[in-house]
Structure 1
């Protein structure tokens, strides 16, 4: 959906929600706000704060998956129209024999996209091999997954495999509570960033599962949603403050540097 002319009354807003086992931090970017959601990527890995400092962003959330050993992306990232991260160049991914049966699915995982179209900016959540719409140019793309809405695509994207009724692969513990990050789109063209944080007083059994995250995002009016990297990567920035999603056994917030982020950049004056 294209963005209309900026309306000063439609400003970026931050809200928190108390969930049964977690706290959800929600940043909504109305389609009429004039703010843009774009991709940031590091050559290695960097803190969410440093991504924000170097970009002038007013908000941010952690992005796609990466290998903590070599700091290479395990998904495609496009920035300013250029492919800046290619999972096929990550030997630890491509040469892992345990992943070989799922590689086609892994390389076609869903991504968040920003298009510049004849009628303005459009956002989309789509499989990696989806063609760019006519009259549009792909400006930013961030691979992650699975899709949460309109339906969970765990098996289609190689996160989950079931054989004869038995789970033989569960790459992200989808049914277990954990810190989670996600991005969603509404029918009105708003972008919704969600980071669900664990409870400091219940570090081992708090957070949210992916099915529950999908249901929560429905209550926000989200119709399309993409799961982002979670656990220790989960973090959200707004109004000068970084909120971390994970906690250690003592209940202290913990985070880590990340490969990529989604940045909320204010409109140009």
Structure 2
């Protein structure tokens, strides 16, 4: 009698679990409209905060001119391990900061991380990376879809992440859709303009998909974009020196890798 009683319950529970999984990982029908961005500030960087349709995200627009300087953690000093966003800001004096490369439970970085020309973590071919190189007018950025030793050349800085979401103005396709907190970077103007996007997930924000992040980047004018580590790792802060500050609600999680910008 027990076997006949419990077997239908087990089958029903399994069907419910499969239904819930399919709803959370493959639902691509949620409507999303990218609004016009109201940038705050006239200088470098510009910042913006968007809230609506059950989603909240923050943005920074950075011109890579001669006044922009990149800071990173870890750096050539040899310090490593997980730190908070606040600790990174205090350590570097950055005006813009975002988490970058994913990492293991033991806080070992998974993917490329180059700071001031020094490689501090190696390549993972299936992941993308953003590369910063010196040029006559400051820095120039480019995104590579796959991390390979030959891709980084004389890079001053390089930061790994997960996947390319926008390439040559075209949104990449993904087999599954999920909505989560996100950290992403996009480039425009032949690599001279950088956009940082940080999406929240919580009581007031349902998160966004990779595709939706790509839609935002393309509307901003980016030609290429990629995702950094997201979810509970998402950490972002930006201030423009004109009294305007945007940030995501900082999680309790400490991250193993960050990038930031300072301005003269």
TM-score (norm 2): 0.71
CA RMSD of superposed structures (Å):
2.8
2:109 is aligned, of 73, 77, 80, to 73
User: CA separation in 2, counterparts of 1:180 and 1:83?
Assistant: 25
2:233 maps to 1:196: no
Residues 208-247 of structure 1: per-residue CA shift (max 9 Å, x gap):
01111111111111111110100111111123968335xx
Check whether the contact 1:14–1:26 (CA below 8 A) recurs between aligned residues. yes
User: CA separation in 1, counterparts of 2:91 and 2:155?
Assistant: 23
**Secondary structure, counterpart of 1:184 in structure 2:** strand
Check whether the contact 1:44–1:71 (CA below 8 A) recurs between aligned residues. yes
Give the helix-richer structure, 1 or 2: 2
TM-score (norm 1): 0.70
User: CA separation in 2, counterparts of 1:15 and 1:244?
Assistant: 12
Check whether the contact 1:178–1:231 (CA below 8 A) recurs between aligned residues. yes
Q: Name 2:131's counterpart in structure 1.
A: 113
Check whether the contact 1:23–1:199 (CA below 8 A) recurs between aligned residues. no
Check whether the contact 2:55–2:204 (CA below 8 A) recurs between aligned residues. no
User: CA separation in 2, counterparts of 1:187 and 1:235?
Assistant: 26
Change (3 A) 1:197 1:257: same
Give the strand-richer structure, 1 or 2: 1
Q: Name 2:148's counterpart in structure 1.
A: 129
**Secondary structure, counterpart of 1:212 in structure 2:** helix
Between structure 1 and structure 2, the one with the greater Rg is 2
> CA shift at 1:40, angstroms?
2.1
Change (3 A) 1:131 1:65: same
Change (3 A) 1:242 1:64: farther
User: CA separation in 2, counterparts of 1:58 and 1:73?
Assistant: 24
> CA shift at 1:113, angstroms?
0.9
User: CA separation in 2, counterparts of 1:243 and 1:11?
Assistant: 17
Across the two proteins, how many residue pairs are aligned to each other? Answer: 212
**Secondary structure, counterpart of 1:43 in structure 2:** coil
Structure 1 stretches of 4+ with a deviation exceeding 4 A read 151-155
**Secondary structure, counterpart of 2:158 in structure 1:** strand
Change (3 A) 1:121 1:193: same
142-151 or 227-236: bigger deviation: 142-151
2:141 maps to 1:144: no
> CA shift at 1:199, angstroms?
4.3
Q: Name 1:179's counterpart in structure 2.
A: 181
Q: Name 2:219's counterpart in structure 1.
A: 219
Q: Name 1:98's counterpart in structure 2.
A: none
Q: Name 2:99's counterpart in structure 1.
A: 62
Check whether the contact 2:73–2:80 (CA below 8 A) recurs between aligned residues. no
